[in-house]
Structure 1
Amino acid sequence: MNGQQQRQIEIIQAAALSAQSLPMLASGLWFHHDIRDNFYYASYLFAAAVDEEIQSLLNNPADSKKKAESVLERVLQLQQKDPDEPLYGHFPLNLNPSPELAKAHELPVELMGSLMVYFYARYGQHLGPELQEAFERALHRIYEGGFYKKPLQLFNHHEAKYTAAKIIFGQFYEDQELLQDGIASLKRTMERVTAQGMPEYGALPWFWHWVQAFTCAWELTAEPALKQQLAGMLDYLWRERALFYLKGAWVGAHSRGWPHDAPADRNVLHDYVQFGDFPLGDRMPRTEYAGFLCYPAPEDALRRALERNQPEVVTKQMIKIDTGEEIPLHSYAYVTKDYAAGGIWERVKEFDNEQIRWMVSFPVTGETGVNQLYFFHPGEGWREGDPRHQSEYAEVLYDKNRILTLFPVPEHAEQQEIIGVLPKGTWIRRVAGLYGQVQNGFVSVLLHGHYTFEELEDYNLVRLQGKPAAAAVEILGRDEAEKLAIGSLAAFAERMGGVEFILQQASRLGGKLIYTGISHQDLLELIVASPGQSVARKNGEEMNYFRY
């Protein structure tokens, strides 16, 4: 048994132990917020109950198996069984206030349908005869419903799941036409993402849906040529992941993220299984099928992810397709063994306005505190306590371990404050800004404007006001600090206290930021004429990020 398999068992054990102690609702389910969680936890509990090496950890394996089967049966009962209904073969999503009243929804079957095939193929022989028949009927309804019969247009996570499902159900039901459609879609998808990048950059949980869907297809495929094609897609996905990986963290810009993706990387189960170089911790917000599905990443991806001895600059261009228009986007990340910094140069409106423009990331520690640092102006969808949903009022400059941001917030904007998220650590507060030690990194946050600092349970909250407000972030890892003869936070703060962060020609909607810092002698300038109109310069020359 290799390390990846051992970590999968660890996840199965943890999910099963959680499931056996969950209170059962009157509906015969554990959750009403999302039907999929019932299927996932029942899968883990069932797997543990029939595995001779794991079942001894359960209070009563026979009762656990019976409970898991009961929940699986209830999930299948909620499928839309009427072939005349438009969502035939689908399941409801949110089950409140009553599962019987919940209407079928197009999302659950996208991923859960393929995973049901995997579960039945792996564990069907252990199911009771009635539940076996129920699974066979449910899977056939999914096949007949044909949720996957949609054309490739956006090359996003939905279409990735449709492509994988065509392959899975085409093989399962020996439907050659459907299978060939899936193979052709796989080829087109591979050509698109390798040539133009993934438009859903840093998007969690969507990236994991790509991984789950194609790993599921790979696991269920025996035909060598097709299995190799699926392996090629998965090699690409894991190489993409390795580029932006730092001990469980997903570094750089995110096109969208849920509360468990920012300001803390907690959607980490697939990373944990694959890499295993960080503690898992107690939180598992998206168990899904990480305990069952694992495609071993290629050796070069593993080396890149795990051997961060030398700093690396990662630049990417992605083509975002929006209402028929192709928009080039450019991301930048500087990755070291102690921290990573970077983001995306362009601001675009993403799904649910969840783009995170830039961040500084530290390794995942398994503790409750956050591991991300960033500043933003609140935009559409923002609310107190949820540090996401950024507005368009930010102009940026990225250069290795330094980030400059100016916030040209107009007078009519509903929110005037800039929000800053700082991880827990040791922080020294000065009028000019904050100096902190987070894990093995020293962080300087110089600010233009008046700020307040508040210690919350999981992170420190900064509120910044200025006309315009601006921030300069500079990070040093342990080795970088030693080269500068900095051995303590006090010494770092003293050295950074002499750094000039200048704002010239300031107006509410612009200005010229000038910054050098201590780790490099390059002069950085961010010149903002108005929102969306800025020039980034290094030593007087324009930084041509669009040449990526």
Structure 2
Amino acid sequence: MTTYEKRQLELIQRISAKAQKRPLLGSGLWFHGDVRDNFYYAAYLFAASVNPDARVPFEKEMTLASSSQMLLKVLRLQDTDPASPTYGHWPLRLDPVPKEAKPDPLPVELMGSLMVYFYRDHQEYMSPPLQAAFEAAFEHIYRSRFFAKEIGHFNHHEAKYTAAKLIFGNLFRDYELVEDGHRSLVRMLRHVRENGMAEYGALPWFWHWVQAFTAAWELVDDVDINRDLGDMLDFLWHERSLYYLKGAWVGPHSRAWPHDVPRDANPLFDYVQFGDFPLPEETPRTEFAGFLFYEAPEDVRRNALDRKLPMEVTKYSVLSGDAENGGPKKVHKYAYITENYAVGGAWERVREFDNEQHRWDVSLPLSNSGSVNQAYFLRPGEGFTEVDPRHESDIGEVLFHRNVVVALYPTPEGEDDRIVGVLPKGEWLQEERALYGRIGRVYLAVHLMRPYQVQELADRYAVESRGGANGVVVEAIGAAEAERLCIGSLEEFAAIQRGNDPSFAEDGSKAAYRSLDQEELELTIAPGGKPEARVGGEPISFGKYSA
């Protein structure tokens, strides 16, 4: 058994044990919030029940029967009326009565393809009624033609449509559909190579790309198509490796969900592929990490795992947009990654769907400490709440340089002037306009333009600062770097940082800071709103800061 297979078996054992313990609702299902969770958990329980290597705390014969019944319940929620506009679909939300829930276009996109993959590997253990139910579901999916859409946005939906064309075309020997899927695949691969991924770090949707194309790679038996699928998967895992640090996704996040900010909590595919961090206790998105696997190329794995030498990543992605909204936009991404921490974000503020862009943070490796692993500040915007500190306003400019972030928030007079921050649990010293912390092998200095208040929560420190236009400078340094500077304690780190306060313009239009490596950093916002970033007196010529 390979190390990958061992980690997948570990997932199957853990998730199946959780499924077996889950109480049934009155409907006989485990979940009403998302129909897909019932399928995923039942698949793990079924797989554990038939796998002789699985060491589980339950009677396998009984759970094989119960998981089979759960799979049947899910399959029977499909809309099987050919005259229905939602033919072939499943409902997403199931309350109050699952059988009466309205079908939704989302579940079949990924779940349909994963069902084919699961059936291929487990049909021999299924009862005749369950086999018949799966095969009927595939027939309805195929005839629904939900995937028969033109490619144009190059997002996770179209990635799943493309994979479904290949999978269901292959399953039903519809070679025109397979050819259509191949053309879509080639277009998508060319687009992301030339324009980057518009969903830069979008979780869980990045993993939907990976799962959809891995399932197609497993199920489609065509040399040319498999070569292109392999190229797509190599591209995806290379992209992941650029922003990877021991389970964390560093740099900017597009479409960030609460389970990924301020703590990365969707790392199961990372765990199987890289395995250099502890398996988390909570798994909010199980999906098919325990089943699907595509081994990343050796150089990609080396990029992700070997962080002994610091690395800077500078890339861009083109976001599609219509002419009315200014047309396509470029988002320039930055990350500075060391073996103990990473700093990075997006130079451009973009108001994405549900205002979910996560602009910047300092990321720490994942651990089972119970603490968040991201440190960041923002000015709250539409959708922000204290329990969901993700959504930010359009006001704010940033400068990234290696281990330092400089951020300005020139809030106009009369508007809400709060900026809020999230800091990981650790050892912290608090002063009037600064916080100095040590979290594991990382020191953090946080310099604020205004006084602040701190509230200690179970998994983080919540910071709030008011009083007008504002700004913050955050500098991170690893313990080994600190030792080279003769810093051996948090008190010594704070003593050096106290004499290194940044200077801020009162209206929030300028910040200047000298980093620990003696770099002079300056961020200025001109009266017209255009920012200018300088390092060592020289302007940064990148993205929106280009002349």
TM-score normalised by structure 1 residue count: 0.97
Residues 248-280 of structure 1 deviation map (CA, whole Å, 9 limit, x = unaligned): 000001112111100001101000000000001
| Contact in 1 for aligned 2:433/2:452 (Cα 8 Å) | no
- Is structure 2 residue 328 aligned with structure 1 residue 326? yes
Alignment of 1:8-407 (within 5 A): 8-54=8-54, 56-323=55-322, 325-407=327-409
Question: Partner of 2:471: helix, strand, or coil?
Answer: strand
Q: Could you list the per-position Cα deviations for residues 473-499 of structure 1 after superposition, in whole angstroms to 9, with x for gaps in the alignment?
A: 011112211111111111000010100
- AA aligned opposite 1:351: F
Aligned residue in 1 for 2:451: 450
Take 1:329 and 1:354, find their aligned partners in 2: how far apart are those partners?
Answer: 14
- Contact kept, 8 Å, 2:413 with 2:468, in 1: the verdict is no
What residue is the counterpart of 1:410 in the other structure?
412
Give unpaired runs (5+ residues) of structure 1: none
CA distance in structure 1 between the partners assigned to 2:529 and 2:150 by the alignment: 35
Return the alpha-carbon distance in structure 1 between the equivalents of residues 216 and 492 of structure 2: 54
The structural deviation recorded for 1:119 is 1.0
User: How many Å apart are 1:399 and its aligned residue?
Assistant: 0.4
The corresponding residue for 2:435 is: 434
> Does the residue aligned with 1:467 lie in a helix, a strand or coil?
coil
**Aligned with residue 544 of structure 1, among 532, 537, 541:** 541
Q: Which residue does the alignment assign to 1:480?
A: 481
Give the CA deviation at 1:98: 1.0
- Counterpart CA distance in 2 for 1:412 and 1:107 is 42
User: Which amino acid in 1 is paired with 2:245?
Assistant: L
Alpha carbons of 1:531 and 1:152: their partners in 2 closer, same or farther (altered >3 Å)?
Answer: farther
CA apart distance, 1:368? 1.8
Maintained 8 Å contact 1:362/1:439: no
Structure 2 contact 515–521 (Cα < 8 Å) conserved: no
Which digits, 9 at most, give the CA deviation of each residue in 1:326-383, with x for residues without a partner? 1111011100001000111000111110101100000001232100000001101111
Provide the rounded CA distance (Å) in 1 between the counterparts of 2:413 and 2:153: 37
Distance 1:162 1:497 in 2: 55
1:433-454 Cα distance to aligned partner (Å, 9 max, x none): 0000012111000010120011
C-alpha contact (below 8 Å) 2:425/2:459 kept by paired residues: yes
Q: Distance in 1 between matches of 2:146 and 2:332?
A: 33
Residues 308-342 of structure 1: per-residue CA shift (max 9 Å, x gap) = 01000000011111225111110111000010001
Shift, 1:149, TM fit: 0.7
Structure 2 counterpart SS, 1:453:
strand
SS at match of 2:197: coil
Matches of 1:58 and 1:66 in 2, distance apart? 16
Change (3 A) 1:9 1:278: same
Identity of aligned residues (%): 50
Instruction: Give the Cα–Cα distance (whole angstroms) in 2 for the partners of residues 30 and 277 of structure 1.
Output: 32
Matched, 1:533 2:530: yes
Tell me the secondary structure at the aligned position of residue 322 of structure 1: coil
Shift of 1:121: 0.8
Deviations, residues 200-223 of structure 1 (Å, cap 9, x unaligned): 111110100000100111111232
Residue equivalent to 1:513: 511
Partner of 2:7: 7
| Aligned mates of 1:388, 1:469 — CA distance in 2 | 19
Look up the SS of the partner of 2:256 in the other structure: coil
Residue 409 of structure 1 deviates from its aligned partner by 1.6
* Contact preservation (8 Å) 1:408, 1:530: no
Shift of 1:95: 0.3
> What is the one-letter code of the residue matched to 1:332?
Y
**Match of residue 501 from structure 1:** 502
Classify 1:531/1:137 alpha carbon distance in 2 versus 1 (closer, same or farther; 3 Å): farther
Measured in 1, the distance between the counterparts of 2:362 and 2:522 equals: 20
Matches of 2:140 and 2:42, distance apart in 1: 21
Three-state SS of the structure 2 residue aligned to 1:15 is: helix
Q: 1:235·1:298 contact (CA, 8 Å) conserved in 2?
A: yes
Q: State the alpha-carbon separation in 2 of the partners of residues 393 and 537 from structure 1.
A: 20
CA contact (8 A) 2:417 2:469 kept: no
> d(CA) in 2 for partners of 1:155 and 1:366?
36
4+ aligned runs moved over 2 Å, structure 1: 221-225, 410-413, 529-533
Work out the CA distance in 2 between the residues paired with 1:233 and 1:314: 21
Q: Distance in 2 between matches of 1:439 and 1:248?
A: 16
Task: Give the deviation of 1:25 after TM superposition.
Answer: 1.3
Greater Cα shift, 525-534 or 388-397: 525-534
For the residues of structure 1 that align with 2:527 and 2:28, how far apart are their CA atoms? 57
CA contact (8 A) 1:373 1:420 kept: yes
Instruction: Encode CA deviations 1:144-194: one digit per residue, 9 max, x unaligned.
Output: 111111111110000000011111111011000000000011101010000
SS in 2 for 1:443: strand
Contact 2:417 2:468 in 1 (8 A): no
TM-score, normalised relative to structure 2: 0.97
Q: CA separation in 2, counterparts of 1:357 and 1:152?
A: 28
Give the Å deviation of 1:281: 2.2
**What amino acid is the match of 1:37?**
D
- CA deviations on 1:375-429 (whole Å, 9 max, x unpaired) are 001101111211101111111000000110011122354x431110000010000
Whole-angstrom CA distance in 2 between matches of 1:453 and 1:39: 42
Unaligned runs of 5+ in 2: none
Inter-partner Cα distance in structure 2 for 1:114 and 1:524: 50
1:134 and 1:58 map into 2 onto residues whose CA distance is: 29
Say whether the 8 Å CA contact 1:437–1:489 is kept in structure 2. yes
Q: Conserved in 2, the CA contact under 8 Å of 1:375 and 1:421?
A: yes
User: What is the distance in 2 between the residues matched to 1:384 and 1:95?
Assistant: 28
For 1:163, the aligned partner's letter is T
Q: Contact 2:280/2:368 (CA < 8 Å) preserved in 1?
A: yes
Is the 1:320–1:329 Cα contact (8 Å) retained in structure 2? Answer: yes
Counterpart contact for 1:496–1:517, Cα < 8 Å? no
Superposed displacement of residue 517, structure 1: 2.5
On the 8 A contact 2:447/2:501 being kept in 1, the answer is no
Equivalents in 2 of 1:457, 1:61: separation in Å? 38
Amino acid at match of 1:390: E
Does the residue aligned with 1:253 lie in a helix, a strand or coil?
coil
How many pairs does the alignment contain?
542
Q: Within 1, Cα distance between the matches of 2:6 and 2:498?
A: 49
